[in-house]
Amino acid sequence: MEVTRIAIPLIFSRLGEMIASLLYFSFIGHFIVDSLSHASLAWALVSFLTVVGIGFFSTSLVKVAGSNNLNSDDIELDLIISFRLAIFFGAIIVSAIFVLSSSVSKSLTNSGDLEGLKALLSLSLSIPALYLQTVIFNFFNAIKKVRYELIYTWLFNATFVLVCTLLVSTNSNTNVIYFALIYSGLRCFFAGLAFALFNLQVHQHIHQFRHSRSIPTIAYVNYFIGGLPMALCFGGESLLFFMLSFISKSLDDTSLSAYQASLHFLSIVYMVSIGVGNATGIVVARHYNLKDFHSLSTTYIQGMKFGFFILTPFLLACFFLKADISAIYTSDALTRRLIEGNILTSIPFLIFEYVYVVTRMTLRSMGDFWIPTLFTISLLNILGLILSVGLLSLYDHSVNSIFLALVFCSFFLMSFLLWRLGNILKNTNRNQLAQH
């Protein structure tokens, strides 16, 4: 099955990306426990900006996957613009964070807050590299060379573990900024390696590819407009979790640490959804361009079944191994208890989230961007925040209420997207029958 062949390495690649951040949290949570909340907040902002970029550049994945001719002018233009905007937007973000940090640091008196700000600036240096990496592996994944990202991701993790281990074993005054700088430095180095690989491989598929090609301004405008809905969609989702970080912090620092650790584990499981969703979307894009809607529906169902098979062990781990999971993140007993409760509450959320992610990515490959985006923002950001505040006020004034709110709003989003896809396929089949 084509979806399975693509999905397995994609899932392990996505899991590898989350393992990198798990390693970051684990080193800090065990060696610099007092800095975990500040490191978590810095990571939340960088994660949000990264996810926005992934959404923005995801249109290239769909375009290349659905193309019948990679040597077409549109594909070459799309790739060149992607590279240029990845560097440009990454540099703008780093500059903005630097200016903001410089101005805010002058008014800070708390050493912990100042350390968190420096950690944010250090982590932000990785953003241009992450954007560049996204563009490169969107291309390779779309042409079904998914093994490249798999090797790249786990090689990065192995190097990160090695360098961090050397740091903690040789430096007794280790702080969170050292870990952030190691992470960003390795991201930039590995992005350079990925770019070199791309330049070696691209001419096998696009014979006249040239980075220096002149591109009219209107092409950049069209690219920006095309990438905007998925950037808003992914960014809206990530923004919700970022805003919930502040709600958690308003409870206390322990709640913030528990929230970020719980969310991080859920994000690891989310990589199953992303991997299967991307694999399904890659195959669906070709079927949609060929107007083969029977194969499109079959691919969606196969992808959904395969993903549930992969997801089930994670759900069982949430129920039976929650104490072991919490121990990975921190040795603090109170934080661990909160993490365990959050993970248990989130089991239905993981199921609903999986279904809506795969369905939304299928709709994306069918050219349906704006309606799923608007409903994602409405049901997650607006309803999610309302439910979170309401449950905290009326039900349980603890971080667990936030995860309960996610269960409800993800159920509503899943239900709408399933209805949307079913309605589109039903109308398409009706039109095809009418034409015959």
Looking at residue 298, its pLDDT comes to 92
Angle, helices 333-345/347-365, rounded to nearest 10 degrees: 60
φ, ψ at 332 (rounded to 5°):
-75, 125
Place of tokens 């392990």: 12
Question: By percentage, how much of the chain surpasses pLDDT 90?
Answer: 43
CA gap 213, 40 in Å, rounded: 41
What confidence category does residue 390 fall into, taking pLDDT thresholds of 50, 70 and 90? very high
Task: Please count the structural domains in the chain.
Answer: 1
Q: How many helices (H) and strands (E) does the chain have?
A: 16, 0
CA 209 to each of CA 67, 75, 198, 204, 380: distance values in angstroms, whole numbers, following the listed order: 16, 10, 11, 10, 41
Q: What is the pLDDT of residue 260?
A: 81
pLDDT at 416 over 90: yes
The whole-number pLDDT of residue 200 equals 93
Q: Determine the average pLDDT of the residues in 214-222.
A: 90
Q: What is the pLDDT of residues 148-178, one digit of tens each?
A: 999 999 999 999 989 888 887 887 667 778 8
Mean pLDDT calculated for residue range 116-137: 90
Instruction: Determine the pLDDT at residue 304.
Output: 94
Provide the 10 A C-beta neighbour count for residue 253: 16
* pTM, entire model: 0.84
Domain enclosing residue 210, as ranges: 2-435
The residues, any chain, with a CB within 8 Å of residue 7's CB and separated by 6 or more, are: 275, 276, 278, 279, 280, 303, 306, 307, 310
Distance CA 119, CA 37 (A): 12
End-to-end, the C-alpha distance of the chain in Å comes to 30
Q: What is the DSSP letter of 399?
A: T
From the list 130, 125, 133, the residue with the least C-alpha distance to 194 is 133
Give yes or no for residue 92 having a pLDDT over 80. yes
- The residue assigned the tokens 């709110």 is 405
- Cα dihedral 374, 378, 380, 385, rounded to 10, equals 150
403 exposure class (CB count in 10 Å sphere: 0-12, 13-18, 19+): buried
Q: What is the pLDDT of residues 297-310, one digit of tens each?
A: 999 999 999 999 99
Type of residue numbered 4: T
* Better-scored residue on pLDDT, 339 or 2: 339
Side-chain-side CA neighbours of 271 within 13 Å: the count stands at: 21
> What are 48's two structure tokens?
């949000």
Look at residue 111 and tell me whether its pLDDT is greater than 60: no
Q: Is it the case that residue 112 has pLDDT exceeding 90? A: no
CA distance 285 to 364: 9
Read off the pLDDT band of 109 (50, 70, 90). low
Please give the pLDDT value at position 147: 93
**pLDDT, tens only, 228-263:** 998 898 888 888 887 888 888 888 878 888 898 898
Residues 329 and 339: beta-carbon distance below 8 Å? yes
Residues 6+ positions from 46 with CB-CB distance below 8 Å: 120, 123, 124, 126, 127
Looking at the chain, how many residues does it have?
A: 436
Coil/strand/helix, residue 1: coil
The per-residue pLDDT for 59 is 85
Residue 259: which of 162, 143, 402 has the closest Cα? 402
pLDDT value for 2: 78
Cα 289 to chain centroid, rounded: 26
What's the mean per-residue pLDDT of the chain? Answer: 87
**What is the H or E stretch that residue 111 is in?**
helix 111-124
3-state secondary structure of 181: helix
Q: Could you tell me which residues come within 8 angstroms of residue 348 by beta carbon, excluding any fewer than 6 positions away?
A: 407, 411
How do residues 31-70 score in pLDDT, each as one tens digit? 665 656 667 777 778 888 898 999 999 888 888 888 877 8
Write the DSSP symbol of residue 143: T
Phi then psi for 285, rounded to 5 degrees?
A: -60, -40
Per-residue pLDDT, averaged over 411-417, amounts to: 96
| 291 neighbors 285 (Cβ within 8 angstroms) | no
The C-alpha atoms of residue 332 and residue 321 are separated, in whole angstroms, by: 17
Mean pLDDT, residues 319-334 taken together: 88
DSSP string, 280-322: HHHHHHHHHHTT-HHHHHHHHHHHHHHHHHHHHHHHHHHHHSH
Whole-number pLDDT of residue 189: 96
Give pairs for 223-227: CB < 8 Å, separation 24+.
Answer: 223/59, 223/78, 223/81, 223/82, 223/85, 224/85, 226/59, 227/55, 227/56, 227/57, 227/58, 227/59
The secondary structure of residue 377, as a DSSP letter, is I
